[in-house]
């Protein structure tokens, strides 16, 4: 249909408005009195800056620019300053400064979805400190111990699914992780409540992860676009935001309201939420603090499990070594426990290599500067979005010889990697500075327990096609959770019986 005069006029007016906003937005406001330069970066275009060069999945582009510009790269998307830090040493130095501890508030998540006070999104300040103070005790040793029975039950349930439906090994791992979390955070155990919790949390997380990527939504750069009418071409982002808003409101309210009514009936199970409510902590704080946990915890943990299964499929000799260690330390008649971890150095090295080889959060969660800063002779203005390039840190050849090789031994014996010091990836895969992942001990404990119990009871190998040929899964560092086939078989009848007995004893 031809546009009517009215429509054409509106299109023209909107285009002019967008242009004026673009133009004004390219004028930079920070003073920079000492005239320090910005960090090095690719040449910028008039008005657009580097907007047209930064793809929405920018990891490869950053790899390319790292070779040209080094460990710190500056780009500008319209008027937004972006800095990418590629080395651990430099990222640590920056992130240790409090001014790097705000978050990047995207227009879509903050203004349109209303998620600005969620744990991972809120700015550094009093309310964020309250979140960390309230959540920390549950994420450290003593707090974790309290939820070990939930992890253990989840683990044996998962092992049973590997016996019955091994082809669903990823789907069921995700379900196990989400169920454990729903139970630990809210005491949710009923199937439909868990499903609903997962559905809405996943929805918000998908939009959040997209929103924080540079260049993903134009409205994050030109906020005025959100006032365009819904029928206006290119306003799909409004529908996306409205859907995420509904889900976000569900995640902050419904599970906590459910705990409250169960507490009133006297039927609430033990959970972080019931604990905090009993202590009289602020309800709004509990709601918004807890609502980020699913998004931060599930995808990252699932990604590590995916990498583990892929690595074990590709490297049966490594799986065999870890199994020999488990057989010697744990034996065949029980499951490994967290206390065994210190006596399983090879499996520990496998854990470290899994997290390094394919880090779950390749660009972390972006930080934002609350004040102008001078860093390494460069000017970094207030409001700059800073990405810690965790992927680049994991590929640093000064720390990791042959970084694309899956090679746990690099963490065991420095003699095996002459002149190379394998940096512990836990120093950066969980982010850096004050905003470092609060769930890192939780993640390590639950992943280690799963890796150990899967290897103790199952053999993982390459699957075979109809003609009996081995299927070698592709390693694609860009793809997220790309499905692959493998063979998962119980190591013995005794291993299968151990699993069935454990599930029967603790359904
Ligand atoms: C392998 C698993 C995990 C990885 C790789 C991971 C990684 C990360 C990263 C890179 C950040 C951003 C840090 C920064 O801004 O510098 C983060 C933040 C966060 N993570 Fe994790 N995470 C994992 C598991 C978990 C788990 C299990 C939980 C909770 C149970 C959790 C809760 C959080 C929260 C709440 C934040 C936001 C912290 C803040 O902004 O102050 N994460 N995580």
Question: pLDDT by residue (tens digit) across 161-206?
Answer: 999 999 999 999 999 999 999 999 999 887 888 889 999 999 999 9
Name residues of the chain where pLDDT drops below 70.
1-30, 214, 414-421
Q: How far is the CA of 389 from the centre of ligand 1 (A)?
A: 15
Beta bridge partners of 45: 49
Residues enclosing ligand 1, CB less than 6 A? 119-120, 292-293, 296-297, 300-301, 304, 360-361, 364-365, 367, 388, 429-432, 435-439, 442-443
Nearest Cα residue to atom 16 of ligand 1: 431
The residues, any chain, with a CB within 8 Å of residue 249's CB and separated by 6 or more, are 114
Distance CA 422, CA 399 (A): 5
Distance CA 384, CA 389 (A): 15
> DSSP letter string over 129-159?
HHHHHHHHHHHSHHHHHHTHHHHHHHHHHHH
Q: How far is the CA of 20 from the centre of ligand 1 (A)?
A: 39
Nearest Cα residue to atom 9 of ligand 1: 430
Distance CA 22, CA 221 (A): 9
Task: Give me the pLDDT at residue 231, please.
Answer: 92
| Cβ–Cβ < 8 Å for 410, 355 | no
| Cβ–Cβ < 8 Å for 307, 475 | no
Position of tokens 């990604």?
Answer: 303
Burial of 259 (0-12, 13-18, 19+ CB in 10 A): buried
3-state helix, strand, coil split of the chain in percent (to 5) is 55, 10, 35
What the block records as the tokens of 251 is 């995640």
Distance CA 235, CA 218 (A): 10
Substitution site in 439, 444, 451, 480 for ligand 1 pocket (most atoms within 8 Å of beta carbon)? 439
Q: How far is the CA of 307 from the centre of ligand 1 (A)?
A: 18
Substitution site in 427, 437, 451, 480 for ligand 1 pocket (most atoms within 8 Å of beta carbon)? 437
| Cβ–Cβ < 8 Å for 80, 212 | no
Nearest Cα residue to atom 19 of ligand 1: 437
From the CA of 122, give the closest atom in ligand 1: 40
From the CA of 390, give the closest atom in ligand 1: 10
Nearest Cα residue to atom 17 of ligand 1: 437
Task: Give me the pLDDT at residue 20, please.
Answer: 55
Nearest Cα residue to atom 24 of ligand 1: 297
CATH superfamily of 5-505: Cytochrome P450 (1.10.630.10)
Burial of 364 (0-12, 13-18, 19+ CB in 10 A): buried
Nearest Cα residue to atom 7 of ligand 1: 430
Give the CA distances from residue 449 to residues 17, 39, 114, 311, in Å, rounded to whole numbers and listed in that order. 56, 43, 36, 17
Cite the DSSP H helix spans in 315-439.
316-329, 345-357, 390-394
From the CA of 443, give the closest atom in ligand 1: 27
Q: How far is the CA of 296 from the centre of ligand 1 (A)?
A: 5
Give the full edge-to-edge strand order of the sheet including 385-388.
Answer: 72-77, 80-85, 385-388, 367-368, 102-103
Q: How far is the CA of 429 from the centre of ligand 1 (A)?
A: 9
From the CA of 442, give the closest atom in ligand 1: 27
Q: How far is the CA of 126 from the centre of ligand 1 (A)?
A: 19
Task: Give me the pLDDT at residue 77, please.
Answer: 86
Nearest Cα residue to atom 14 of ligand 1: 431
Q: How far is the CA of 489 from the centre of ligand 1 (A)?
A: 33
From the CA of 181, give the closest atom in ligand 1: 30
Q: How far is the CA of 365 from the centre of ligand 1 (A)?
A: 8
What the block records as the tokens of 285 is 């704080």
| Cβ–Cβ < 8 Å for 296, 437 | yes
Task: Give me the pLDDT at residue 357, please.
Answer: 97
Nearest Cα residue to atom 6 of ligand 1: 430
| Cβ count near 271 (within 10 Å) | 24
Ligand-binding site membership of 16 (annotated): no
Q: Where do the structural domains in the chain lie, given as residue ranges?
A: 5-505
What the block records as the tokens of 73 is 């790269």
From the CA of 361, give the closest atom in ligand 1: 10
Side-chain-facing half-sphere of 19: CA atoms under 13 Å: 6
The residues, any chain, with a CB within 8 Å of residue 494's CB and separated by 6 or more, are 332, 333
From the CA of 185, give the closest atom in ligand 1: 30
Q: How far is the CA of 388 from the centre of ligand 1 (A)?
A: 13
Q: How far is the CA of 44 from the centre of ligand 1 (A)?
A: 33
From the CA of 359, give the closest atom in ligand 1: 5
pTM: 0.91
Task: Give me the pLDDT at residue 51, please.
Answer: 85
Q: How far is the CA of 443 from the centre of ligand 1 (A)?
A: 9
From the CA of 364, give the closest atom in ligand 1: 10
Task: Give me the pLDDT at residue 418, please.
Answer: 52
């Amino acid at each position: 249909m031809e546009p009517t005069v009215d429509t054409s006029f509106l299109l023209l007016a909107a285009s002019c408005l967008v242009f004026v906003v673009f133009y004004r937005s390219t004028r930079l406001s920070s003073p920079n009195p000492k005239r320090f330069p910005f960090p090095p970066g690719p040449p910028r275009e008039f008005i657009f800056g580097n907007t047209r060069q930064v793809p929405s999945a920018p990891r490869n582009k950053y790899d390319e620019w790292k070779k040209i510009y080094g460990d710190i790269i500056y780009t500008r998307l319209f008027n937004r300053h972006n800095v990418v830090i590629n080395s651990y040493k430099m990222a640590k130095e920056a992130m240790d400064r409090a001014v790097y501890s705000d978050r990047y508030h995207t227009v879509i998540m903050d203004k349109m979805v209303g998620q600005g006070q969620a744990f991972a999104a809120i700015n550094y300040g009093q309310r964020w400190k309250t979140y960390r103070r309230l959540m920390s005790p549950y994420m450290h040793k003593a707090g974790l111990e309290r939820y070990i029975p939930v992890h253990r039950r989840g683990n044996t349930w998962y092992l049973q699914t590997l016996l019955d439906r091994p082809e669903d090994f990823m789907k069921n791992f995700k379900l196990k992780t989400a169920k454990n979390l729903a139970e630990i955070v809210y005491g949710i155990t009923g199937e439909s409540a868990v499903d609903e919790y997962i559905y809405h949390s996943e929805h918000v997380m998908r939009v959040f992860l997209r929103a924080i990527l540079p260049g993903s939504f134009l409205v994050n750069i030109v906020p005025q676009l959100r006032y365009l009418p819904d029928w206006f071409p290119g306003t799909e982002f409004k529908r996306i935001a409205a859907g995420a808003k509904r889900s976000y409101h569900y995640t902050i309210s419904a599970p906590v309201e459910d705990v409250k009514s169960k507490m009133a009936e006297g039927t609430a199970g033990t959970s972080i939420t019931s604990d905090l409510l009993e202590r009289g902590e602020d309800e709004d704080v509990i709601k918004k603090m807890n609502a980020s946990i699913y998004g931060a915890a599930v995808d990252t943990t699932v990604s590590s499990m995916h990498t583990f299964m892929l690595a074990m499929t590709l490297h049966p000799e490594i799986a065999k070594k870890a199994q020999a260690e488990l057989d010697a330390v744990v034996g065949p008649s029980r499951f490994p426990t967290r206390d065994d971890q210190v006596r399983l150095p090879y499996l520990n090295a496998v854990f470290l290599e899994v997290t390094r080889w394919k880090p779950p959060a390749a660009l972390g969660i972006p930080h934002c500067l609350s004040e102008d800063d001078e860093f390494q002779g460069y000017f970094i203005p207030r409001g700059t979005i800073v990405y810690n390039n965790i992927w680049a840190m994991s590929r640093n050849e000064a720390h990791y010889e042959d970084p694309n090789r899956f090679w746990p031994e690099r963490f065991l014996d420095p003699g095996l990697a002459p002149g190379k010091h394998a940096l512990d990836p836990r120093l950066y895969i969980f982010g850096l500075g004050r905003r470092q992942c609060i769930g890192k001990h939780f993640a390590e404990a639950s992943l280690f327990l799963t890796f150990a119990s899967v290897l103790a009871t199952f053999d993982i190998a390459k699957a075979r096609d109809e003609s009996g040929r081995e299927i070698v899964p592709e390693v694609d560092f860009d793809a997220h959770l790309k499905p692959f086939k493998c063979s998962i078989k119980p190591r013995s009848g005794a291993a299968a019986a151990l699993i069935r007995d454990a599930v029967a004893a603790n359904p």
